Amino acid sequence: MTTRITAVPRAIPAESVEVPFADCYISAEAQMAALRVLRSGWVTTGKEVAGFEAEFAEYVGAEHAVAVSSCTQGIELALRSFELPTGSLVLTSTMTFCGAVQAIAHAGLHPVLVDVDPETGMPTPATVRDAVRAFGQPAAMTVVHWAGDPADVPALAEAAGLTLDHVVVDAAHAIGTYSGSTPIGSECGATCFSFYATKNLPLGEGGMVTTDDAERAGWLRQARLHGMTADAWRRYLPGGSWRYNVAAAGLKANMTDIQAAMGRAQLRHLPAWQYRRAQIAARYDDLLAAQPGIGLPHRPESATGTHAWHLYPIRLATGIERDEVIAELARRGIGTSVHFIPVHQLTYFGRIASIPPGGMPGADTLFDQLLSVPIYPRLTDGQIDAVCAALADVMHRRFSRKEAE
Ligand SMILES: *Cc1c(COP(=O)(O)O)cnc(C)c1O
């Protein structure tokens, strides 16, 4: 078989363009906002955090938003807000970031890992039912919109025998994801976002928990700062009281005003950044569609929702050595990554988490195929073309060698 590569522009030599895997863009406005806060005399949780919370809640269409130090801490706090008995079962996808499962363990709960559909990278009602059949009724569940692709949360919750108020959404990839025409953020008990350096709204570090439940929001607001009934900012306001009580266990997981001020400035850029991410995904789709050996990421039907394109995870055909492709791309100046090593393959979780008796065939199959290529708003069309040309070149050599063997 000869490999004809028609979709990839040949004019750009792959070697001429450096393409890092990730990019943390802190806009000029965000830099100035940080400086303004640094000079203001108040740098930790205060009025910038309150402002960011209000603006973020509005952006995702939720009643309340509580800013936290990370998405991981947000997930732990959200699970703690359910006040479940220690050791209660919490379902989670095995195809996720380890931190999201650490949060379950740190909340004193027991993670039950759920296999995924290799097509979408996410659990299905059937894999959820397998886990429930094996280990019993869970008390809660976390759902990740993997790569930014909308998961069918109501169907997964129903399969788990849970109401949506006992579902925590891991929205680390899902700023900009829509379920139908509704932005992710208000559907479930709590939705947790990440502002980590590589995420769609980068601040370096930080997170946000959104909910429509006023009582939960109030609980989270105290629990993120030692469980204190009044935070420092309010205590130091004129007329503020020095008195406070601690009524429940809390974490130190508040956000600084420096991050929040940056967040407010970054949020204004977000619609344009999301637009660019969709453009990049479409260009990759066009250039890679005809490429032998490469499968495109799953895309939602338009009625299902909108993809946030946090990641663009391509699938390498069976028999293609992913590590060899990664090394060949790196040699051509192109950074890639893999999202994720399935949680059940990590020693600690293999030991502490429950894994259904049938194992995780969907995740194991998918894992070997996964390769995330660069996607971020400042990626240029030239860089996208360079990535695709390099992939075509690597695959072509690989295929011709296979033939010779
Ligand atoms: C990045 C990420 C997290 C953790 O976010 P932090 O803000 O770094 O804690 C959680 N879940 C998923 C799926 C992620 O990709």
- What is the per-residue pLDDT for 238? 77
Tell me whether domains 28-269 and 271-404 share a fold.
no
pLDDT tens by residue, 141-161: 999 999 999 999 999 999 999
Instruction: Give me Rg for the CA atoms of the chain.
Output: 22
Does ligand 1 lie within 6 Å of residue 96's CB atom?
Answer: yes
Cβ of 113: how many Cβ atoms within 10 Å?
Answer: 27
Does ligand 1 lie within 6 Å of residue 100's CB atom?
Answer: yes
Q: Which CATH superfamily is domain 271-404 in?
A: Aspartate Aminotransferase, domain 1 (3.90.1150.10)
Mutate to test the pocket of ligand 1, among 194, 343, 375 (most ligand atoms within 8 A of CB): 194
Contact 58, 44 (CB under 8 A): no
- What is the per-residue pLDDT for 405? 57
Identify the bridge partners of residue 114 per DSSP, sorted by sequence position: 93
- What is the per-residue pLDDT for 402? 60
Between CA 95 and CA 154 the distance in angstroms is 19
Local structure of residue 260 (DSSP, 8 states)? H
Contact 85, 110 (CB under 8 A): no
Using the CB atoms, write b or e for 25-34: b if 16+ within 10 Å: ebeeebeebb
Q: How far is CA 323 from CA 326, 327, 328, in A?
A: 5, 6, 9
Q: Is 292 left (phi over 0), alpha (psi -120 to 50) or beta?
A: beta
Q: 361 Cβ partners below 8 Å, 6+ apart?
A: 115
DSSP per-residue codes, 39-106: HHT--SSSHHHHHHHHHHHHHHT-SEEEEES-HHHHHHHHHHHT-PPTT-EEEEESSS-HHHHHHHHH
Which residues does the annotation mark as catalytic? 199
Mutate to test the pocket of ligand 1, among 170, 203, 259, 311 (most ligand atoms within 8 A of CB): 170
Regions in the chain scoring below 70 on pLDDT: 1-16, 231-233, 399-405
DSSP per-residue codes, 110-164: EEEEE--BTTTTB--HHHHHHHHHHH---SEEEEE-GGGPPP-HHHHHHHTT--G
Does ligand 1 lie within 6 Å of residue 194's CB atom?
Answer: yes
Does ligand 1 lie within 6 Å of residue 308's CB atom?
Answer: no
Domain range 28-269, its CATH number among 3.20.20.60, 3.40.50.880, 3.40.640.10, 3.40.50.720:
3.40.640.10
Q: Is the dihedral angle over the CA atoms 219, 42, 172, 347 positive or is it negative?
A: negative
> What is the value of pTM for the model shown?
0.94
Strand 182-183's sheet: what is its strand order?
Answer: 182-183, 178-179, 305-306
Residue 158's identity, in one-letter code, is: E
All structural domains of the chain with their residue ranges: 28-269, 271-404
Q: For helices 381-404 and 322-331, give the axis angle rounded to 10 degrees.
A: 130
